[in-house]
Amino acid sequence: MRRISIFGSTGSIGCSTLDLVGRQRDAFHVVALTGGRNIVKLAEQAKEFRPEVVVCADEKDVAALREALAGTGIEASGGRSAILEAAARPTDWTMSAILGAAGLEPGLVALQHGGVLALANKESLVCAGPLMMEMAARHAATILPVDSEHSAVFQALNGERVEDVERLLITASGGAFRDWPIERLATATAAQAATHPTWDMGQRITIDSASMFNKALELIEAHEYFGIEPERIEVLVHPESLVHAIVGFADGGLIAHVGPHDMRHAIGYALNWPARGDVPVERLDFAAIGSLTFRAPDETRWPALRLAREVMQTGGLAGAVFNGAKERALDHFIAGRVGFLDMAALVERVLVKMSSDDLGKAALELDIVRAVDAQARALVDEFVGVPVGSGGV
Ligand code: NAD
Ligand code: MG
């Protein structure tokens, strides 16, 4: 039996992971499940999957979690240190699907016991790519990308040499506002941004798709994970979301990865790797699909893409600043304190303001990553004119 843990089990990726695990129940022993504030769902999952330990993000919720699990014999705990303690328990496979920079440290701890870290949490690579990769190498752990585009690239590179790659093309649906007139974007609300044309995902990543901050993070993620130069990585708008990535090789040949827009494919690939298991996703009917379309992204509509290129040029800690500022700007947008276009403007202001802080220094120390993340968030709050908030790594 394989020992597995799922961090962020109550979220969109976490639930899809458990859906797959539930179909091969006898193959797995669940070590830990962790969630945020949805105690009812976390307790339900724990009763079904019988983990050794179940952890909620906030210590204040532990009493409710213990009450919900009374008589089951399942250990329950809460708070950041309890999540890290759960991450330290040895597993063969761990899903990192906590949202945002908060997912970085549990992932780093999990890497220390080796095995596979299935990485949905792209923020880990954006904030501290070198630290993640170094930790994996030091402990002979394997990081498998779960982001659909990166899983697609990983699959296309199977049996290939990275040095033969000429370019990477990662696709973007274009999100909720792909076809809106640019003039309307300033008035866009969080509810409008949180509807996705193709993928079914958590609220925040769906809004990040509309602003292309999600794709901006993915550019940086691809650069950090595959070690390919920023100039060789392109974004292609592909409204059908069926081609997830295309890898172009030195001889002009291209390998495209095509699949349904269902995250269970990428999760299942990571779960069954290096084999391929039977994953219950739709089998595509190309004759019925008929055609696939592609277009270049417009960087005036989506300034986040331009900012991501600047961040990759600076390198080092710029990714942590970019992500921290983005997360905080998104908090303000969801709370209705700033407009849709203000998010990119705020992130750019933070990057400019912190540009003198030697951001090019390698992101190799967690404390430094944490400090610049907090500074970026505080600056966003200052620009928006609200009391300095919390959250972050
Ligand atoms: P989600 O909001 O649906 O779920 C996030 C999970 O993390 C929940 O269990 C939540 O309770 C937990 N969580 C949130 N904040 C926490 C904190 N501070 N401490 C501990 N736990 C916390 O998010 P999601 O859409 O499932 O995304 C999870 C990660 O996967 C993100 O990094 C996202 O970018 C990435 N991802 C998601 C998708 C998708 O289809 N949803 C696709 C690719 C990558
Ligand atoms: Mg993606």
Residue position matching structure tokens 């008589």? 71
Q: Which ligand is nearest to the CA of 203?
A: 1
205 CB under 6 A from ligand 1?
yes
> Which is more confidently placed, 357 or 32?
32
3-state secondary structure the chain: CEEEEEECCCCHHHHHHHHHHHHCHHHEEEEEEEECCCHHHHHHHHHHHCCCEEEECCHHHHHHHHHHCCCCCCEEEECHHHHHHHHHCCCCEEEECCCHHHHHHHHHHHHCCCEEEEECCHHHHHHHHHHHHHHHHHCCEEEEECCHHHHHHHHHCCCCCHHHEEEEEEEECCCCCCCCCHHHHHHCCHHHHCCCCCCCCCHHHHHHHHHCHHHHHHHHHHHHHHCCCHHHEEEEECCCCCEEEEEEECCCCEEEEECCCCCHHHHHHHHHCCCCCCCCCCCCCHHHHCCCCCECCCCCCCHHHHHHHHHHHHCCCHHHHHHHHHHHHHHHHHCCCCCCCHHHHHHHHHHHHCCCCCCCCCCCCHHHHHHHHHHHHHHHHHHHCCCCCCCCC
Boundaries of every domain in the chain = 2-145, 161-259, 315-384
Write out pLDDT tens, residues 182-201: 999 999 999 999 998 888 88
In this prediction, residue 369 has a pLDDT band, given cuts at 50, 70 and 90, of very high
Q: How many angstroms does the Cα of residue 39 sit away from the middle of ligand 1? A: 15
In this prediction, residue 24 has a pLDDT band, given cuts at 50, 70 and 90, of very high
11 CB under 6 A from ligand 1?
yes
Write out pLDDT tens, residues 118-164: 999 999 999 999 999 999 999 999 999 999 999 999 999 999 999 99
State residue 82's pLDDT score: 98
What is 2-145's CATH topology? Answer: Rossmann fold (3.40.50)
Q: How many angstroms does the Cα of residue 128 sit away from the middle of ligand 2? A: 18
State residue 365's pLDDT score: 94
Output the residue whose Cα is nearest ligand 1's atom 25: 202
Task: Tell me the pLDDT of the chain averaged across its residues.
Answer: 96
Contact (CB, 8 A) for 311 and 317 = no
Cβ-based neighbours of 352, under 8 Å, separated by 6 or more = none
CA distance 28 to 25: 6
What is 315-384's CATH topology? Answer: Rna Polymerase Sigma Factor; Chain: A (1.10.1740)
Write out pLDDT tens, residues 352-367: 999 977 888 887 899 9
Output the residue whose Cα is nearest ligand 1's atom 11: 36
Write out pLDDT tens, residues 260-315: 999 999 999 999 999 999 999 999 999 999 999 999 999 999 999 999 999 999 99
Cα of first residue to Cα of last residue in the chain, in angstroms, is: 33
Q: Which ligand is nearest to the CA of 102?
A: 1
Ligand 1 atom with the smallest distance to the CA of 217 is: 34
At residue 390, does pLDDT exceed 80?
Answer: no
